[in-house]
């Protein structure tokens, strides 16, 4: 597996990481714990050194699984986790008070079976707490040796600049894919300017870009995509042109649509490290193969030209979740 450095942080990770959320949260019933542990260890065996979790994925359960899986290889991997929701439950709202940040850090260290959090993200910007206070609290944790690097998730440009002025932001984690390209306008140039790495979550469009979702697909009530406007029936039909594009490029190159989607992200900037998630070993191996797919200038131009004629329909979150985004 190739390596990449997250901006100017000096934090070296595998070019593709593993997003662990779906093993216990968001996409239906949790994966059996020992099966989840096996999958995470299989990812490491195949060269993955970057693993992403959060207090809110469970809450706490996902961190415990990640901690158990990676304890034998702790010195060989980078573990990222997050704080920022009240009691670790998104439905309860935001809470990034410094005392809460310290509490989450101490709890995460125990759940992850480690003495340090390599990358500690604020999960969402909390308008009730100045971002300078958040950055200062994480800075204290870095100085105490409990945290290695500070990250933000779904933060807007102003919040990124203000936080970075207090303590260097090593990475921003936000949604970015062929299905959601908003970061290209303002965020990517800012990260390049400040030397901040970019970690796209949902790099496969929450499964849409794999080609496994059809225009007739419906989602179970415990799958959060059931509430997402862009997965509503009419939007799915309208957005399917994007899937056809990815399938076409994949067929021409003899690879899978998921691999094209990941290779496209990797081609956008050298400091981008996507973190696709999966519960299946064969999908894990397929995703990791995306790092070996080289898209030529002609491929990239073809994709960009086609994208100019595709207007994605539907918001990426339900209205109830929009309040957490881009502050």
Q: Where are the beta strands (DSSP E) in the chain?
A: 3-5, 12-14, 18-19, 50-52, 78-83, 117-122, 147-153, 169-175, 197-201
CB 121 within 8 A of CB 78: no
Q: Which two tokens stand for residue 241?
A: 């042109």
Pairing of strands 169-175, 147-153: parallel
Specify whether 57 is catalytic.
Answer: yes
CA distance 316 to 205: 10
Number of Cβ within 10 Å of residue 251's Cβ equals 12
Looking at the DSSP bridge assignments, the partners of residue 14 are 3
CA distance 179 to 102: 35
Q: Which two tokens stand for residue 101?
A: 């940040």
Residue 211 Ramachandran class (φ > 0 left, ψ -120 to 50 alpha, else beta): left
Q: Is 224 exposed, middle or buried (0-12, 13-18, 19+ CB in 10 A)?
A: middle
CA distance 85 to 64: 18
Q: Catalytic pick from 57, 121, 176, 317? A: 57
Q: Please tell me what DSSP assigns to residue 79.
A: E
CA distance 81 to 68: 15
Q: Which two tokens stand for residue 325?
A: 């985004």
Q: How many CA atoms lie within 13 A of 232 on its CB side?
A: 13
Report CA torsion sign: 48, 54, 60, 61.
Answer: negative
CA distance 258 to 78: 24
Catalytic residues: 57
């Amino acid at each position: 597996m190739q390596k990449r450095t997250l901006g100017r942080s000096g934090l070296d990770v595998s070019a593709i990481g593993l997003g662990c959320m779906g093993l216990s949260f968001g996409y239906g019933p949790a994966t059996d714990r020992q099966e989840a542990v096996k999958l995470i260890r299989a990812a490491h065996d195949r060269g993955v050194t970057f693993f992403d979790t959060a207090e809110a994925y469970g809450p706490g359960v996902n961190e415990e699984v990640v901690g158990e899986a990676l304890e034998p290889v702790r010195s060989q991997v980078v573990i990222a986790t997050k704080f920022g929701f009240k009691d670790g439950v998104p439905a309860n709202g935001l809470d990034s008070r410094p005392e809460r940040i310290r509490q989450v850090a101490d709890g995460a260290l125990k759940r992850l079976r480690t003495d340090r959090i390599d990358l500690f993200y604020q999960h969402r910007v909390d308008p009730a707490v100045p971002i300078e206070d958040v950055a200062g609290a994480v800075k204290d944790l870095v100085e105490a040796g409990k945290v290695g690097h500070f990250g933000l998730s779904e933060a807007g440009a102003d919040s990124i600049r203000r936080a970075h002025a207090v303590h260097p932001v090593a990475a921003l984690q936000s949604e970015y894919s062929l299905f959601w390209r908003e970061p290209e306008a303002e965020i990517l140039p800012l990260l390049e300017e400040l030397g901040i790495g970019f970690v796209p979550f949902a790099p496969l469009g929450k499964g849409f870009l794999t080609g496994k979702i059809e225009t007739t697909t419906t989602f179970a009530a415990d799958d959060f995509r059931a509430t997402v406007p862009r997965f509503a029936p009419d939007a799915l039909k309208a957005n399917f042109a994007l899937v056809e594009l990815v399938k076409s490029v994949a067929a021409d190159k003899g690879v899978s649509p998921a691999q094209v989607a990941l290779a496209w992200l990797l081609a956008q900037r050298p400091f981008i490290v996507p973190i696709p998630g999966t519960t299946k070993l064969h999908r894990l191996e397929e995703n990791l193969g995306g790092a070996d797919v080289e898209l030529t200038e002609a491929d990239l131009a073809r994709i960009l030209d086609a994208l100019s004629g595709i207007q994605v329909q539907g918001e990426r979150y339900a209205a109830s979740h929009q309040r957490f985004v881009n502050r």
